A and B are shown apart, each in its own frame.
Chain A
Amino acid sequence: MSSTTPEIVFAGTDGGALTELDEYEKVGGLQALRRARAMTPDEIVAELNASNLRGRGGAFFPTGRKWSFIPKPDQNPRPHYLVVNADESEPGTFKDREIMLRVPFRFLEGCLIAARAIESTHVFVYIRGEYEREWEILVSALEQLRAAKHLGDVTLVLHRGAGAYICGEETALLESLEGYRGQPRTKPPFPAIAGLYASPTAVNNVESITTVPPIIEMGGAEYATLGVQDSTGTRVFSLSGNVERPGNYELPHGFPLKDLIYEVGGGIADGRTLKAVIPGGSSTPILTAAEAEKVTLDFDSLSQAGTAIGSAAVIVLDDRCCMVQLGVRVSQFYEHESCGKCTPCRVGTRWLTQILKKIESGDGTHADLDLLLDVGERINGTCLCPLGDSDAIAVASYVAKFREEFLQHVEEAGCPFHGTSSLDGIVAPTDGHEAHVGPAEIRRPLEVVA
């Protein structure tokens, strides 16, 4: 990254990690917490509002406003909770994991400041079960903060998920944290009014929370000068796919997508050419190479291009990628992760996969292409959460942008890539190879605890 890039989230790391408390304090760590403890909760929220920090999990909802929805303790005497969503699972996204690995104390400092802002003494961090190393780092960091008596009156509990994409949806996460199956709830009531244990709850993403200490330190107005209007500050972009240098890059909002791919990311790998870009995680509509040349990475530019900044996960696809196969693979993901609560999603995601597989195999007709879009339309907006919509919207965007390629599959009765697509033959967990199918006779001594 160039030296002019302001680092906010990763400030002071010098490309490394700050996993010891004294290292973190040496680069100014915990100053923001001290300052925040001298501020009233309303003053903290006011700084956040001035910064115009918007949620980094994907919804881009203003963080300060979310906190201001939490009733005051005298309005609702139940305990207030802060729940941090560290269940990062949107395909393409791997930023929160690097934040927890490299700046665990800045993240936990942000938790303590956020708790104060909503007058809570109970924080739960729901961390993805697959993130074992990150879990260990957080356990160690929390232990160091506790030993140094920095937690004050706050109880912070680290809670491990167990493998379910849906638990990244905030109400499903709350259900899971309460000890139920992770299925979304009806809204309203919104978590701010009745969230965890039916109490006022703020649910925030890891990157949003980690950005809070720098905002308190530099002041919200100063933070708002970074980035562009309506998309202030920096963002940790997860760059993956067919680029020379994939990885997480912290850049200001408004950064040109083409510069992320060609300058920061070193261009398309293996001397191939760019075909398409998924700009904000697998649930966001795809951009063609020509569109990708023009947009900047911020809310407005991507919205105007008909897509979304989402979780800022940029997936780069080169000319070897068959768009029908991409549709199959993305749809398989949503089918696998559908919790089954709402019928349009449970049935529709599977149906979309089946139609796409039929088109890919060469058995598809023009009617199937219409059916594909029709099924998607019937999922959109009919479920409790956006999981099914994500599948429908993503697939519809592949058809809209690469219609010729879909038609070719139908009219040539097969895949025009003839086995050379970068996704050819890929085996998804839904391809009839689901786990737990080992020989039933596996025997091992059971450790029976008497």
Chain B
Amino acid sequence: MSTFYDEVQELRSRYPDERSAVMPALQLAQERHGGWLPEAALREVADALDVTPAYCVSIASFYDMLHVEPIGRHVVEVCTNVSCAVSGAQGVVEAFERELGMHVGETTEDGAVTLRTVECLGGCGWATVVAVDNRHRLHVRPGDVAGIVKELGE
């Protein structure tokens, strides 16, 4: 029996109804599969929860942080909601585009970095907020972008 299977059983035991474990199980599977959910990952979750893979896809596809298609090994997400937008977020987006040599919404050819804009990250007073692999960088300015991209290459 696999470790993943056992870990999901532990997740199931936390909830009065085992179905509740689907989200933490998908999050765990995504972590184990390099940041997204290939078919094999969805099958493992389905087996461990005793549900169908189709059900797992229906849940995964609903949430912004669960990815059912390939995504870069690193993910850079720039908040462009109102507070960040009026504080210069677009300049930060464009600096990432220049530094990475691609448009927002794309992944570098080597699969290393995906750049996307996202809705409010809940850091409106610390604009511009950029999530780098889900870690929030605050007060990001265009001048900080080269350094962040360099870190990702290390």
Interface residues of A (CB under 8 A from B): 79, 88-94, 97, 122, 128-133, 157, 159-165, 176-182, 197, 238-242, 246-248, 278, 282, 313, 315, 317-318, 320-321, 326, 329-330, 333, 336-337, 339, 422-429, 431-440, 442-444, 446-450
Contacts and interface: CB of A to CB of B under 8 A. Distances in A.
A162 B85 contact: no
Nearest to B24: A160
Contact of B81 (A178, A333, A439): A333
B106 to A, nearest CB: 6
B64 interface: yes
A94 B73 contact: no
A238 B58 CA distance: 35
Interface string B3-24: 1110000000011110111111
11 contacts: A94-B126, A131-B122, A164-B63, A241-B124, A282-B82, A426-B89, A426-B90, A427-B80, A427-B93, A435-B116, A437-B107
Interface string B73-84: 100000011110
B71 A426 contact: no
Interface string B133-153: 011100000000000000000
A132 B121 CA distance: 11
Interface of B: 2-5, 14-17, 19-24, 26-27, 32-34, 38, 40-41, 44, 58-59, 62-73, 80-83, 85-87, 89-90, 93, 103-107, 109, 111, 114, 116-127, 131, 134-136
Chief secondary structure at chain A's binding surface:
loop
A317 B82 CA distance: 9
A157 to B, nearest CB: 5
A212 B82 CA distance: 32
A320 B87 CA distance: 11
Given A181-B58, A433-B104, A435-B71, A426 B125 contact: no
B38 A446 contact: yes
Q: Which 3 A-B pairs have the closest CB atoms?
A: A438-B107, A433-B105, A163-B64
Given A329-B85, A449-B32, A337 B23 contact: no
A433 B124 CA distance: 22
| A130, A133, A282, A436 pick with most chain B CB within 10 angstroms | A130
Contact of A181 (B62, B69, B125): B62
Given A160-B23, A162-B65, A179-B20, A133 B83 contact: no
A240 B24 contact: no
Contact of B59 (A89, A129, A179, A424): A179
A89 B32 CA distance: 27
A422 B85 contact: yes
Contacts of B5: 449
Given A92-B120, A179-B19, A442-B111, 18 more contacts: A89-B120, A94-B125, A94-B126, A129-B27, A129-B63, A162-B66, A179-B22, A241-B83, A278-B82, A329-B80, A329-B82, A426-B90, A427-B117, A433-B104, A435-B116, A438-B106, A446-B41, A449-B4
